[in-house]
Amino acid sequence: MGSYKNIGTILIPMFIVLLLSLNYMPCKAQLSTTFYDNTCPKALKTIRKSVRDAVASNPRNAALLVRLVFHDCFVQGCDASLLLEGTGSEKASPANDGVLGYEVIDAAKAAVESVCPGVVSCADILAVAARDASVAVKGPSWVVRLGRRDSTTSNAAQAATDLPRGNFNLSQLVSNFRNKGLNTREMVALSGSHTLGQARCTRFRGRIYNNSLPIDSAFATSLRQNCPTTGSDGNLEPLDLVTPNKFDNNYFRNLLTNKGLLISDQVLFNGDSTDSIVNEYARSTSRFKSDFAAAMVKMSEIDPLTGSNGVIRTLCTSAS
Ligand code: HEM
Ligand SMILES: *[C@@H]1O[C@H](CO)[C@@H](O)[C@H](O)[C@H]1NC(C)=O
Ligand SMILES: *[C@@H]1O[C@H](CO)[C@@H](O)[C@H](O)[C@H]1NC(C)=O
């Protein structure tokens, strides 16, 4: 009997440790690269074709797709909650005002539904489309683990509190990303997605008139011509004025000469701790690309719904 007791004193704590470790196994452990291999073997090829077509017809679509996964994953995780429509939805929130490209995801979803209905989640399509968009504009590739499921609700209030804004200072950016499990270096690498796409006057006005950050004077003069102190809110300027449709490191090189378009861009190179990271990426495109790819993998695995949580939506815009 004494030996039973001894075995119990060893086995019971072991059993508890096992239970705890199972419990703490993050949901992301359930994502897998082979998730659709049997249920929808054509899923990845189908999404890639949709993305290639969209980027060929308008190169800005690459930027829009890379941005969508960020705005989805920062608000209640990578669950396609951003795509749900309706009053009080994330999509309708001021924090997502100006986010575009939804119709590219809808088209990819329709194409995937036609080959295997009800199988592939909108959340996985967002993650895969961002990767394919990067590749389509000469950016890095990365392996996307799959098996995310879709939420049935979205959270406009969380969109307002959790998404960073273009007038954030460095400490606000650092803590905003840290709240999502991303470190400072990953924040800088991910900001490098501003090598693509455009911003509206209303979002960069504060940078060109009213802030104490250094700004190249010719750059400022030219921006002010297209963005007066009032009005013309929708006028666009490229976030990377050199090569806005190509994934390269010019975004970081622009920061070295005070040509960042947003306050949140230029604060990354303004005499603080992130200067060294910006310098490193400005020197080495390959370093930037490999860090960007790794950070995109991490960002696109924030709190996914997996297993029996969530649903597979038929339409990305609607939960029912
Ligand atoms: C670091 C914090 C960030 C801030 C404060 C920020 C803010 C902004 C703002 C204000 C715009 C212009 C939007 C408009 O005019 O409507 C923009 C555009 C964009 N952002 Fe960010 N962003 C950040 C990080 C990211 C990340 C992590 C990604 C993706 C990985 C991303 C991807 C993009 C892209 C591609 C565009 C251009 C979209 C277009 O052409 O319409 N941004 N961002
Ligand atoms: C950043 O902005 C926050 C909020 O406005 C402010 O409290 C903080 O002092 C600022 N930090 C720096 C370093 O400017
Ligand atoms: C700049 O700031 C001043 C003082 O806060 C304000 O009166 C003015 O409207 C601002 N201008 C722009 C273009 O934002």
Q: CATH number for the domain including 237? A: 1.10.420.10
On whether the CB atoms of residues 110 and 103 are closer than 8 A, the answer is no
- CA dist 133 and 291 (Å) reads 17
In this structure, the answer to whether residues 49 and 113 fall within a common structural domain is yes
**44 to each of 51, 63, 69, 265, 316, how far by Cα in Å?**
11, 20, 17, 33, 17
Flag whether pLDDT at 82 surpasses 80: yes
Is residue 109 very low, low, confident or very high in pLDDT (cuts 50, 70, 90)? very high
Give the 3-state secondary structure of residue 149: strand
Residues 105 and 183 in one domain: no
Residue 24, pLDDT > 70, answer no
Q: How many domains does the chain have?
A: 2
Note whether residue 311 is domain-resident: no
Does residue 245 have an active-site annotation? Answer: no
57 and 139 belong to one structural domain: yes
CB 139 within 8 A of CB 289: yes
pTM score, whole prediction: 0.91
> Are residues 177 and 153 part of one domain?
no
Residue nearest atom 27 of ligand 1, based on CA coordinates: 190
Query: Does 180 sit in the ligand 1 pocket, CB within 6 Å?
Result: no
Report pLDDT for 211.
79
Does 67 contact ligand 1 (Cβ within 6 A)?
yes
Of the three residues 140, 162, 184, the one that is the final residue of a domain is 162
Annotated binding-site residue numbers for heme b: 194
Residue 109 half-sphere exposure, CB side, CA atoms within 13 Å? 23
Could you tell me the CATH number of the domain that includes residue 99? 1.10.520.10
The last residue of one of the domains, among 131, 162, 193, is: 162
Q: Is residue 305 assigned to a domain?
A: no
- pLDDT of 17 > 60? The answer is no
Which residue from 258, 179, 259 is spatially nearest to 187, judged by alpha carbons? 179
Q: Do 224 and 287 fall within a single domain?
A: yes
pLDDT at 30: 87
- Residue 176 and residue 158 in one domain: no
Examine residue 14 and state whether it is found in any structural domain, yes or no.
no
125 shares a domain with 229: no
Predicted local distance difference test score (pLDDT) of residue 21:
52
Verify that 216 and 158 share a domain, yes or no: no
Domain assignment present for residue 315? The answer is no
Q: What is the mean pLDDT of residues 287-306?
A: 98
Please check whether residue 310 lies inside any domain of the structure: no
Question: Are residues 288 and 178 part of one domain?
Answer: yes
Decide: 146 and 32 in contact? Cβ < 8 Å. Answer: yes
Q: Domain of 174?
A: 170-296
Note the residue count of the chain: 320
For residue 301, is it within any domain?
A: no
Q: Which residues sit with their C-beta closer than 6 Å to ligand 3?
A: 205, 209-210, 229
Which one-letter DSSP state was computed for residue 42? T
What's the confidence (pLDDT) of residue 133? 98
Instruction: Indicate which residue of 48, 60, 67, 71 is catalytic.
Output: 71
pLDDT given for residue 8 in this prediction: 53
With cut-offs at 50, 70 and 90, classify the pLDDT of residue 156: very high
Tokens representing 35 are 């998730």
What is the number of the ligand 2 atom nearest to the C-alpha of 169? 1
| Pair (141, 257) in one structural domain | no
The pLDDT > 90 percentage for the chain reads 89
For the chain, the maximum distance between any two Cα atoms, rounded to a whole number of angstroms, is: 89
> Do 91 and 123 belong to one domain?
yes
